[in-house]
Amino acid sequence: MTATATRPPSVVPVFVRLKITLIRNGLRQSRGRAAGWTAGTVFALLYAVGLGVGMASLRHNHYGPAAAVTVTACMALGWAVAPLFFFGGDDTLDPTRLAMLPLRPRPLVTGLLASSLIGVGPLCAVLVSAGAVVAVAHSGPAVPVAVIAVALTLLTCVSLARAVAAANTRLLTSRRGRDLALLSGLFIAVGSQGISLGINSLSSDGGLHRATSIAAVVRWIPPAPAVDAVRSVSRGSYGLAAVQLLYAACVVALVLRWWHHSLVRLMVSPDASTLPAGPAGADRDRREDPDSARRSGLLGRGAADGPARVAALLLPRRLVAGRTGTVMGRQFRYVWRDPRSRAAWATALTLGLLLPVVAMAQHGGSVYQCLWSAGLLSTQMFNTFGLDGSAFWTVAATTATRRDAALELRGRALAMAVVAVPYITVVSTGVSLLLHRISALPEVLGLALAFAGTLIATGVFIGVRFPYAVAQSNPFANAAPGQTGVVTLNVLGGTLAGVVLWLPLLAFAVALHVTGRHGLLWTVLPVGAAYGLAVVAAFLRFTAPRLLDRLPEILAVAAQV
């Protein structure tokens, strides 16, 4: 008697239905989420259609092949890096959620790959790659090759995104991964400036010739060889086209193999939740989490206290003694340990330096671009109490007099100034040197220091008068629900008030230019520094009693979850 072996049913339909159910249930959570998803989908499809049509319109253009392979390679790069920044936005990217199912890695790969082909992203990839192959298809035999090229491009993008996500699952579900996701805004901002530079370079004389030279290398970066195979067939180079298609298919196989290997490792290796809570596990956790070890006193205070120590050395001892120095140290630790604050400061510091450089690269720039560095960094003062969260109760419990309130505000303002003043000085000096306008440095630096002072001053007041709660449960939201009006008033109102307070010094500098007294422009530096310091001192004195009166209200707002 022989037993007939029955083939197990395919899991592909199950995963496809699971993906559709996840999308449908996510849209049912709220009307706002459904509206946001619809708007994002429409925008993405319009962009993909526009890009695809633009690529197709280059069919008879000399630069069409170069543009086709370049866009295809850039699209694959975007699919590869997207999971590193938006991992938390798609639960299906986390394979550990399926670890308890009785599935081996191979059928798991098949099911996840099939479900990954459903959604707006794959449809956009098909539209863009279809436009790319139309741009290089010029014969009948190229049509079936174009279909194969689109399929290989889609499989490369989807499998690459899944493989990257699986290989970095442990990182992206950890605290460090959340820190990385919070920094996505910084990478997007830097990337947008890089794209702007690239477009400006291509629009200049000889830009498209440089693109053609670059495409000679890009055409061999997967999945670009699949698209370039369509061009090879159109030119009669069937052997080269076969090699390119085989090369693209081998890359897909290698990526799938990498994905399979990562899934095997995830399914058999223990995670933090399965490790014993004994001394060995605790020591390992401290080694993996330096911030936790620092809080336990094992590694000392570390880099968070560096600015505070520098301030203690450079500023008058009487100014930073007592509560002021304590507040400064606490603020630096908050920024160093809180991922949201760290991301906001990193973004402000990077963009303040990047924007003048981009302006110089595009159209020569101006020394007055240094004002970006003062503005972007100083606005971090606008919600200084709301970022404390529930920890603000320690401030409320230890603030009993107007002097306590004044010292609290002074410590927070000095913590910002200790970073802002050297940073603004370095950026202003560097830009002046690069533009060969070193004679304009005193004027520019004076304007920037005064601008930073007025923004810090208004930030002190508006942070007390209009604080808003930060969404603790959602690290990607900058405020708790229902506070859009307060956020707008805080940011826009504080910025406009700072600009209005800064106008007298700007008028002074303009008057020196108009009257032809260029030899006195150096006075803008001492006048600007003194003006910014005077405005901050006045606002500290004015806001201190109001902080004492509004402690309960600020605590109620900051403690919201």
Q: Write down the pLDDT at residue 362.
A: 65
CA angle 339, 340, 341 (to 5 degrees): 95
Q: Please tell me the least confidently modeled range out of 68-72, 96-100, 371-375.
A: 96-100
Q: Write down the pLDDT at residue 178.
A: 57
Residue 64: pLDDT band with limits 50, 70, 90:
confident
What number of CA atoms fall less than 13 Å from residue 182's CA on the CB side?
Answer: 21
Closest CA to 177 of 167, 192, 189: 167
Q: Is 26 exposed, middle or buried (0-12, 13-18, 19+ CB in 10 A)?
A: middle
High-pLDDT (> 90) share of the chain, %: 24
Q: Please tell me the least confidently modeled range out of 67-76, 267-276, 394-403.
A: 267-276
Average pLDDT over residues 65-93: 75
Q: Please tell me the least confidently modeled range out of 7-11, 79-83, 197-201, 257-261.
A: 197-201
Which residue ranges make up each domain of the chain?
Answer: 12-269, 302-558
Closest CA to 119 of 85, 80, 79: 79
For residue 316, the 8-state DSSP code is -
Tokens of 323: 């509560």
Cα–Cα distance measured from residue 520 to residue 518, given in angstroms and rounded to the nearest whole number: 5
Cα–Cα distance measured from residue 494 to residue 459, given in angstroms and rounded to the nearest whole number: 6
Average pLDDT over residues 67-76: 88
Higher pLDDT, 458 or 91: 458
Q: Please tell me the least confidently modeled range out of 5-14, 133-142, 320-329, 438-447.
A: 5-14
pLDDT of 280 > 50? The answer is no
Length of the chain as a residue count: 561
Q: Write down the pLDDT at residue 279.
A: 46
**Range ranked top by mean pLDDT from 161-170, 345-354, 432-441:** 432-441
Q: Write down the pLDDT at residue 209.
A: 60
Q: Residue 512 belongs to what H/E stretch? A: helix 494-514
Higher pLDDT, 127 or 97: 127
Cα–Cα distance measured from residue 214 to residue 218, given in angstroms and rounded to the nearest whole number: 6
Cα–Cα distance measured from residue 128 to residue 124, given in angstroms and rounded to the nearest whole number: 6
Residue 246: pLDDT band with limits 50, 70, 90:
very high
For residue 8, the 8-state DSSP code is P
Closest CA to 430 of 365, 344, 508: 365
Q: Write down the pLDDT at residue 303.
A: 47
pLDDT of 240 > 80? The answer is yes
Q: Write down the pLDDT at residue 92.
A: 57
Cα–Cα distance measured from residue 554 to residue 408, given in angstroms and rounded to the nearest whole number: 14
Residue found by looking up tokens 């790659």 in the block: 129
**Range ranked top by mean pLDDT from 172-186, 224-238, 384-398:** 224-238
**Range ranked top by mean pLDDT from 159-168, 209-218, 234-243, 478-487:** 234-243
Higher pLDDT, 89 or 440: 440
Q: Write down the pLDDT at residue 243.
A: 93
Average pLDDT over residues 200-206: 53
Q: For 326-387, give the secondary structure using H, E and C.
A: HHHHHHHHHHHHCHHHHHHHHHHHHHHHHHHHHHHHHHCCCHHHHHHHHHHHHHHHCCCCHH
Q: Please tell me the least confidently modeled range out of 45-59, 163-177, 228-242, 379-393.
A: 163-177
Tokens of 239: 């052997």
Residue 145: pLDDT band with limits 50, 70, 90:
very high
Residue 134: pLDDT band with limits 50, 70, 90:
very high
Residue 294: pLDDT band with limits 50, 70, 90:
very low
Q: Write down the pLDDT at residue 85.
A: 61
Q: What are phi and psi of 239, to 5 degrees?
A: -65, -45
Average pLDDT over residues 263-280: 58
Average pLDDT over residues 57-65: 84
pTM: 0.60
pLDDT of 204 > 70? The answer is no
Q: Write down the pLDDT at residue 288.
A: 41
Residue 467: pLDDT band with limits 50, 70, 90:
confident
Q: What is the pLDDT of residues 88-114, one digit of tens each?
A: 445 555 666 666 677 777 888 888 888
pLDDT of 307 > 70? The answer is no
Q: What is the mean pLDDT of the chain?
A: 78
High-pLDDT (> 70) share of the chain, %: 72
Q: Write down the pLDDT at residue 273.
A: 44
Q: Is 235 helix (H, G, I), strand (E, B) or coil?
A: coil
Closest CA to 474 of 261, 181, 241: 181
Average pLDDT over residues 47-53: 90
Q: Write out the DSSP string of 410-468.
A: HHHHHHHHHHHHHHHHHHHHHHHHHTT-GGGHHHHHHHHHHHHHHHHHHHHHHHHHS--
pLDDT of 166 > 90? The answer is no
Q: Write down the pLDDT at residue 249.
A: 94
